[in-house]
Amino acid sequence: MYKIIKKKELNPTVTLMEIEAPMVAKKAEPGQFIILRTDEDGERMPLTIADYNRDKGTVTIIFQVVGATTEILNNRMEGECLQDFVGPLGRKTETEGKRKVAVIGGGVGCAIAYPVVKKFHEQGTQVHAIIGFRSKELVILENEFKANSSKLVLMSDDGSCGEKGLVTDALRKLIESGEQYDEVITVGPLIMMKYICKLTKEFGIKTVASMNPIMIDGTGMCGGCRLTVGGRTKFACVDGPEFDGHEVDFDEAIARSTLYKPFERKAHEDVCTLYKTEVK
């Protein structure tokens, strides 16, 4: 069993949990993920590792409450335990040998971008972080990004914090001002990553996109996380989750990501109703 050491609400729909998992913490690297189950009857849920502490033996996860399982997880309290916490899975972010990079995070994707920024910073790479949110109320990890980046640009759709506009606007502005990057790494909504990759292709900048499709077993057996990259089928769980962003078929990935939304919404509503009934 894996104890919840810390629980913190980052915004109205996003929660941070620090989990006691020494074996996972020992091997974890930025870019990798875990698969957890809340209880023995729970579904398998993949979550990217947001941080880790090898000395404490803990792994931090950050999740958005959007479906039934995230609702159940969000109702767990500090001191309670999770049934399973398996990992680290997937390939780590390749951070070596780069002098200057830009890391772009959108929304809850910033939870995935943060450990990458932190790793670059620790090894002395000059890292520019661009993070975007719909509004001020949804901002997460701003101070953590600020402490681990050479330059931080905060964007918001409505202008309630940082600069008003999209992360693509900020990246274009930096590139056109003369900034030269060895690589751009983008994490966030598929539509955001699609246009980041379209922009960097225009300037000939190598770009890595972190893909998080539907996933079940995390070993490449089920095929649920398949993507088309460079005209070939890849599996995010074992071949990724990071891929050459200029070769990813984003239109296909976007279409597949919406397949189960009606079922997810219904399951979430059922779980919420269950918890409300128990409270009464």
Closest-CA residue to 127 (of 95, 159, 158): 95
pTM of the complete model: 0.86
Residues 134 and 83 in one domain: no
**Phi and psi, residue 201, nearest 5°:** -65, -35
Residues 74 and 55 in one domain: yes
Residues 79 and 142 in one domain: no
| Domain count of the fold of the chain | 2
Residue 266 lies in a domain: no
Final residue in a domain of this structure, among 89, 115, 133: 89
Q: How large a percentage of the chain has pLDDT more than 70? A: 92
Residue 233 lies in a domain: yes
In terms of pLDDT, which residue wins out, 279 or 208? 208
CA–CA dist 195, 245 (Å, integer):
10
Residues 66 and 129 in one domain: no
What pLDDT does 68 receive?
85
Residue 273 lies in a domain: no
Residues 247 and 108 in one domain: yes
Residue 229 lies in a domain: yes
Residues 81 and 174 in one domain: no
Residues 160 and 247 in one domain: yes
What pLDDT does 20 receive?
97
Closest-CA residue to 224 (of 3, 14, 45, 30): 45
CA–CA dist 218, 90 (Å, integer):
8
Residues 60 and 137 in one domain: no
Q: What is the CATH number of the domain that holds 138?
A: 3.40.50.80
Final residue in a domain of this structure, among 61, 89, 117: 89
pLDDT band at 215 (very low <50, low <70, confident <90, very high): confident
pLDDT band at 211 (very low <50, low <70, confident <90, very high): very high
Final residue in a domain of this structure, among 32, 59, 89: 89
Q: Inform me whether the pLDDT recorded for 261 exceeds 70.
A: no
Structural domain for 110, as ranges: 100-257
